[in-house]
């Protein structure tokens, strides 16, 4: 069956609609998340338990052992969503205040998909060391920290330093979250085309935070560095590129990949694509960023991930016409959406449930394996290599995988059985979803007016 080709105008109009509604809905609701009690308040006498004088008892216990804060408070389920607004979505350095709607949205996804109580914290700490110090200061409040929309290469330094200094999980979703879902998608895509991922040549088109960490995770999963080629705005990375010393000085993480990868020493984009089995595009909005003629240089049945938003580096039908067997994008209106929301809510659910002290790339791989297995058991094919966000049953399974890897690596404060972990994750996630539905049915979360009315009354 041939794929229907909507016009560019139709696609752009469809992509613009959520933005128009977002302006109106954000004003209508005045934000997306709020704080609600989780304990009983039968009458005002209960405040003697929850506040003074009763609260002094757990305070004394925590003073003896700060780790007890994970058991006497909700710290075990609190996550900070931290950003300086220096690289927000596709908007660039728009500042912390302008980044706040994104962080609120992240907190909403954390709660609805993972049952995690997440708090948006945008900061004016633009110096990397100041940001790490800020994370140290807020650590006693949280069970985990999600870094978000921080410019490259600062994001690498902040993540690495925070992981060294803090005793709670810290991760950068643009790095590890994207890498997790890309890994899972590639794993199944290679199965669909009948190839061994560990023997394949993989091109990363774009050398920002997402693709750098994606390459690192693939290498930890067994893909040889020599089989990977990274492409930045100047072309392929290779060990003797004229600007290699400048790269080494400005971005040591990118430099490490330049010297480890590209065994063929490809110096042009055409050379990089020639004989490749897959390309992962995480660069800039297209179309025209990845060209059909480059895909024609790849091996038979190539895999194309064109994940730029709102417009992929190449339209899916263009990639298919050029020979691509499996195509994935970052958009929900095409098959095979590569969506970070498949990763971070469940992975944090798992590491929070065992009160983990850190989060590792191995946990991302374990979660990616669970994602891939779920889709494979449902029946993978060219247009289904990853679960969709509405297949919520995958989230508890992914949480269990991350939690078990935490226990295996010796960083979990508590150890639970697989069954205990699964039942806990299911209950917490179901409660979050059902609570939202109950609030909506009761009118405590009010329904928005019809689209035309809300746009007229609350639009720009």
The bridge status of strand 117-122 relative to strand 78-83 is parallel
CA distances from 398 to 178, 237, 333, 373, 395 (A): 15, 34, 24, 10, 5
Q: In which residue are the tokens 């997440």 written? A: 118
Task: Say how far apart CA 13 and CA 10 lie, in whole Å.
Answer: 5
Cα separations (Å) of 86 from 120, 124, 302?
15, 10, 35
Length of the chain: 460
What span, in angstroms and rounded, lies between the C-alpha atoms of 220 and 227? Answer: 13
Do the beta carbons of residue 327 and residue 314 sit within 8 Å?
Answer: no
CA atoms of 140 and 340, how far apart (whole Å): 27
- Helix ranges (H only) for 86-202 are 96-114, 128-138, 154-165, 178-193
- 306 forms beta bridges with 281, 329
Backbone angles phi, psi at 51, to 5 degrees: -125, -145
Q: Is 106 a catalytic residue?
A: yes
291 carries an active-site annotation = no
DSSP-assigned letter for residue 167? S
Q: Considering 13, 38, 51, 250, which one is annotated as catalytic?
A: 51
Question: Could you list the active site residues?
Answer: 51, 106
């Amino acid at each position: 069956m041939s794929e229907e080709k909507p016009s560019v105008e139709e696609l752009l109009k469809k992509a613009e609609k959520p933005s128009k509604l977002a302006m109106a809905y954000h004003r209508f609701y005045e934000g997306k998340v709020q704080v609600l009690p989780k304990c009983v308040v039968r009458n005002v006498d209960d405040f003697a338990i929850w506040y003074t004088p009763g609260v002094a008892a757990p305070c004394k216990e925590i003073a003896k052992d700060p780790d007890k804060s994970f058991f006497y408070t909700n710290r075990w389920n609190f996550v900070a969503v931290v950003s300086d607004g220096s690289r927000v979505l596709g908007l660039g350095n728009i500042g912390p205040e302008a980044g706040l709607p994104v962080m609120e949205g992240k907190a909403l996804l954390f709660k609805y998909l993972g049952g995690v109580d997440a708090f948006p914290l945008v900061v004016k700490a633009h110096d990397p060391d100041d940001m790490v110090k800020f994370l140290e200061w807020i650590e006693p409040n949280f069970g985990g920290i999600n870094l978000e929309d921080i410019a490259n290469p600062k994001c690498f330094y902040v993540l690495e330093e925070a992981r060294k200094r803090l005793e709670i999980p810290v991760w950068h979703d643009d790095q590890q979250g994207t890498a997790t879902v890309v890994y899972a998608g590639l794993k199944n895509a290679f199965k669909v085309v009948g190839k061994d991922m560990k023997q394949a040549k993989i091109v990363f088109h774009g050398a920002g935070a997402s693709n750098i960490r994606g390459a690192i995770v693939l290498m930890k999963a067994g893909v040889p560095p020599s089989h990977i080629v990274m492409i930045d705005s100047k072309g392929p990375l290779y060990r003797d590129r004229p600007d290699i010393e400048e790269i080494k000085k400005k971005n040591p993480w990118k430099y490490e990949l330049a010297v480890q990868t590209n065994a063929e020493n490809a110096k042009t984009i055409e050379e990089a694509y020639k004989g490749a089995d897959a390309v992962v595009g995480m660069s800039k909005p297209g179309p025209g960023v990845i060209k059909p003629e480059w895909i024609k240089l790849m091996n038979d049945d190539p895999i194309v991930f064109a994940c730029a938003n709102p417009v992929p580096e190449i339209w899916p039908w263009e990639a298919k016409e050029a020979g691509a067997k499996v195509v994935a994008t970052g958009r929900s209106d095409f098959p095979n959406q590569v969506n970070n929301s498949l990763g971070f809510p469940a992975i944090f659910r798992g590491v929070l449930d065992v009160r983990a002290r850190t989060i590792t790339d191995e946990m991302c791989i374990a979660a990616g394996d669970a994602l891939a297995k779920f889709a494979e058991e449902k029946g993978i094919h060219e247009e289904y290599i990853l679960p969709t966000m509405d297949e919520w049953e995958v989230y508890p399974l992914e949480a269990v995988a991350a939690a078990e890897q935490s226990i295996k690596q010796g960083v979990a404060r508590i150890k639970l059985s697989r069954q205990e972990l699964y039942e806990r994750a299911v209950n917490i996630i179901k409660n979050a979803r059902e609570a939202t539905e109950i609030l909506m049915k009761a009118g405590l979360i009010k329904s928005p007016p019809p689209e035309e009315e809300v746009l007229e009354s609350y639009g720009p």
